Amino acid sequence: MDLDIILRTSAVLIVAALIAMSLRRAAPSTRHLVWQLAIIAVLLAPVLAPLAKVAVPRVPGVPEVPRVWFSEGATPSSPRSTAGPATLVTKQNQTLGSVGTFISIGTAGVLGWFLLCWFLSGVSVWRGSTAAPEAWVNDAKMLAARIGLKRPIAVRRLRRDASPHVAGFFSSVVMMPPSATTWTTEARHAALVHELTHIKRRDRTTQALAHVACALYWFNPLVWHAAAGLARERQRACDDAVLKFGAKPSDYATLLLDLARSAQSWTPVTALSMARPSAIEGRLLSILAAAVRTPRLYKASSLALPRRTRSRCPTGRIQILTRNTVSTRERSTDCAHCLASRRSAARHSSHSRALARQRHSGVPTSHSPAPTTGPLSMHDR
């Protein structure tokens, strides 16, 4: 491979890493897009590099004049042995040929490993799983419709416990562990939403592109770093989708931790596994940090609301008023109990003020005893 292409692709990956670092507060899907574009540029570099070269006209050189060596005692039978430029060029070509052969062998080895994992991932759908329960299939279809996934969905149950993942030769199949029968409905729905989001985002395609780039540039650590960043942001983007769907962050983090801790069978690297132990720590921190900034789409959440929008009524219920979803007229109204309590307090306050004014003016009130009409007593006199 040309050294110029290696330098250009390395520069592209360094720029992508700097952009991803500057977007650390952005959504994971944004950083995933940055890594995806960088990997596509790396793959297209060998094709676009010849187009970028500009043909420079050659200036005709001066013909070389034959050299004559004069020395004392030199005879025609003893010519001077010198290493000409042709010998140096031949050695350079041999060296470059050896390096190119080594790179080609490494590319074939890495690409063969990825193809083997892809083949095992497809075989596991038919040999390592059985038909899923009807309830799981119905839940998957319902959740797929709610997240906007229109392609047909296939769900199968693994024979051995493993992390939920997406596998298959060409079509994507959601693989659920047999222990999912003992999970709660919320946990099973969270796992299904995570894997269905992978299918909706076409993450298997982007993962295949990253594997091809790693095979072509296996000697460049920047390419492996880009592929790892792509996988990391892919999982975090699906985690955000689960939280937006309505999952409780603490419960979802507990589910991922339990899956990573449990004894699991080996999952091919080409399968989109939900919880790999090697990358679970950063995801847990991201999930718990996203609990404040991620709005839920299907459940009301008050985690991100400011304190001034909360008010407590005498019954102990908390009223949450949001500027985005509540109109001005609705914000000025409270619950029926609060209105009744306030009206009763207002009537009591106005009645107390009326009694105070009557006492101050000397007019007898309805609560004061009526004046006597009989003869005055000695004390009155």
Q: pLDDT (tens digit, 0 to 9) for every residue of the chain, 381 residues total?
A: 688 899 999 999 999 999 999 998 899 999 999 999 999 999 999 888 777 665 556 666 666 666 666 655 555 555 554 555 555 555 555 555 577 788 889 999 999 999 999 999 999 898 889 999 999 999 999 999 999 998 888 999 999 988 999 999 888 999 999 999 999 999 999 999 999 999 999 999 999 999 999 999 999 999 999 999 999 999 999 999 999 998 999 999 999 999 988 866 788 888 999 988 888 888 998 888 866 555 555 543 333 333 333 334 433 433 333 333 333 334 344 445 555 666 666 666 676 777 766 666 665 544 444 444 444 444 444
Give the phi and the psi of residue 310 in degrees, each rounded to 5. Answer: -105, 140
Residue 227 neighbours by CB under 8 Å, 6+ apart: 39, 210, 211, 213, 214
Which burial class, exposed, middle or buried, applies to 366 when counting CB atoms under 10 A from its CB (0-12, 13-18, 19+)?
exposed
CB 28 within 8 A of CB 203: no
Kind and range of the H or E element at 278? none
Report field, pTM of the whole predicted structure over 0.85: no
CA atoms 323, 324, 326, 327: torsion sign: positive
Give the phi and the psi of residue 90 in degrees, each rounded to 5. Answer: -65, -40
How far is Cα 153 from Cα 271, in angstroms, rounded to an integer? 16
Residue 377 neighbours by CB under 8 Å, 6+ apart: none
Helical H runs in the chain?
A: 3-22, 28-52, 85-127, 134-147, 185-201, 203-216, 221-245, 249-261, 280-293, 328-331, 336-361
